[in-house]
Amino acid sequence: MLREAWTIAIETLSWMELRRLNERSALVRTTKQLGISNPQAMRLAYGLVVETTRRKNLIDKLVNTVVAPKKIGEYNQGIQAFLRLYVYQTRVAKNWGKIHLKEAESIASLGRAILGWEVMREVEPFLGFLLTRQLAPILEAASETERVALETFHPTWFVEYLTKLFGKEEATAFFKGSLNPPPTYIRVNTLAASEEEIVTKLATEGTKLEKVELLKYTYKVLELKAPLNTSPSLKKGLFYVQDKASCFATQAANPAPNSTVFDICAAPGAKTTFIAQLMSNQGTIISVDFSAKRMCTWQKETARMDTKIADPLVADARVSVPLVGEADLLVLDPPCTSSGVFAKQPSAKWRLSPKSIQNMSEIQLQMINNCADKVKPGGILAYSTCSITLEENEGVIEQFLKAHPDFKLVEVEPKIGVPGLNGLTQCQRLYPHVHSCNGFFIAKLQKG
């Protein structure tokens, strides 16, 4: 099992580097490619991949001091992945404490078995040094900003960016809060059964829940007897695994029964299914997404969750929103840099750059501008992202309001987050270190 797990982990990290895939997508691709279906091996591999990726900058810094004058990026993908996993397992997972030589030797043997003797020969002499190289001198030699970046596992430029945006104290709190994934939340589906019945049913399965205050149907998972993806209740559509912030964004949009809702960037279905639930399956939802593949998932999810009032449309909202008529409510959750979900998806922070923030904000502005004429007079346009950057959130809203003076910001209810920045206090922001959920931004705009 251990060899299978390490084989999956090495190959998954390699795909992530080669194709800029996230952890889960790369793992799915790897297990299909290797034909490995052992759930224990897959779980172990996924944990190794996520925790190694979370600390990539610090691990690479340590490796580079040992393999100098070469750098880790100059080796082939398999070696890069092995070295990172080796340092994580032998040093980081041990909290940089006592060295376990037998474990290190066993991991080296795994590397030879998986990658081959010839491939490993180039880095074999460095493995002992990686076990003994001390971290303190590396941190002491770094600038203050780089030291924070290394200690909290974030890109140095992003540390500078958030420090300017939030101030040093709040930025550091955010970085530390992004080190551990937030709790798991679920939304119980009252289209399938009553809220009380579902909570009772889950209790019999060994799932202990705690209701989230002010949010409808939303619960924090406290204890699990078995993984949620194996729950019979999940297959029956009794609940949806959905972060608290995402549930809040949909509830804040306040879809009403017998109304018309346009759900833009709708796949894989979390928003659509919750909108339908809040509408009691009465009214009309048109769900739009550019990806036919993701819309296949949307169809499965809407069927599982007993959503009966939603119709799919494959279209690219960057180009246009090809819908006839106007909506009482238009919900837009555009692609974003995912800077609010670094704790769950650490690979996102290493793909992020100042240029990618700018590029993404331009796409978001195109989308929201294309949505403006699809909202009825008096109707609502609800905008949200799982990013915490200024450009993708308040920056987009400010530019939209300048171009569309017939829209105005209205209050987001309930008051769960903190006010938006740049004076846009009607908006709300949520942060991992404050609200124990993904980072999120929510704005509501009413058309005059």
pLDDT of amino acid 170: 96
Phi/psi for 250 (5° steps) reads: -70, -40
**What's the one-letter identity of residue 245?**
A
pLDDT score, position 1: 85
CB-based contacts of 260, cutoff 8 Å, min separation 6? 283, 284, 286, 325, 326, 327, 328, 329
Q: Is residue 165 part of a domain?
A: no
Q: Is residue 39 part of a domain?
A: yes
Same domain, 399 and 284: yes
Domain boundary among 105, 124, 141: 141
CA atoms of 159 and 156, how far apart (whole Å): 5
C-alpha closest to that of 126 among 66, 62, 78: 66
- Mean pLDDT of the region 158-184: 95
Residue-wise over 331-367: b if at least 16 C-beta within 10 A, else e?
Answer: bbbbbbbbbbbbbbbbbbbbebeeeebeebbebbbbb
- Total number of domains in the chain: 2
Q: How confident is the model at residue 16 (pLDDT cuts 50, 70, 90)?
A: very high
Which residue type is seen at 254?
N
Question: Domain holding 411: CATH number?
Answer: 3.40.50.150
Q: What is the average per-residue pLDDT within 344-362? A: 96
Active-site annotation, residues: 386
Q: CB-based contacts of 286: which residues, under 8 Å, 6+ apart?
A: 260, 261, 262, 263, 310, 311, 313, 323, 327
Alpha carbon 266 to its chain centroid, in Å, reads 16
The pLDDT, as a whole number, for residue 117 is 92
pTM of the model: 0.94
User: Cα separation of 241 and 230, whole Å?
Assistant: 12
Is 266 inside a domain boundary? yes
pLDDT at 98: 87
- Do 294 and 442 share a domain, yes or no? yes
Q: Residue 273 — very low, low, confident or very high, per pLDDT cuts 50/70/90?
A: very high
Burial class of residue 118 (count of CB atoms within 10 Å of its CB; 0-12, 13-18, 19+): exposed
> Residue holding tokens 């796409």?
363
Distances (CA, A) of 445 to 88, 106, 380, 427: 46, 59, 6, 10
Lowest mean pLDDT among 93-102, 188-197, 273-282, 396-405: 93-102
Q: What is the pLDDT of residues 112-142, one digit of tens each?
A: 999 999 999 999 999 999 999 999 999 999 9
Pair 250, 120 in one domain: no
| Mean pLDDT of all residues in 218-234 | 95
Q: Is residue 162 part of a domain?
A: no
- How far out from the chain centre does Cα 373 lie? 30
Averaged pLDDT, 218-243: 96
Q: What is the mean pLDDT of residues 66-73?
A: 96
pLDDT at 47 exceeding the cut of 90: yes
On whether residue 188 sits in a domain, the answer given is no
pLDDT in tens, 323-350: 999 999 999 999 999 999 999 999 999 9
Regarding whether 137 and 6 lie in a shared domain, the answer is yes
Its domain, for residue 346, covers 244-447
User: Which of these three, 79, 108, 141, is where a domain ends?
Assistant: 141
Q: Which of 99, 116, 141 is the last residue of a domain?
A: 141
**Is residue 365 assigned to a domain?**
yes
Beta bridge partners of 443: 383
Angle CA 281–287–292, to nearest 5: 130
Same domain, 136 and 248: no
pLDDT, mean over the chain: 97
Q: What is the CATH number of the domain that holds 112?
A: 1.10.940.10
Give the tokens for residue 2.
């251990």
Mean pLDDT calculated for residue range 199-224: 97
Summarised one tens digit per residue, pLDDT across range 275-330 is 999 999 999 999 999 999 999 999 999 999 999 999 999 999 999 999 999 999 99
| pLDDT higher than 90, residue 379 | yes
137 shares a domain with 250:
no
pLDDT bucket at 70, cuts 50 / 70 / 90: very high
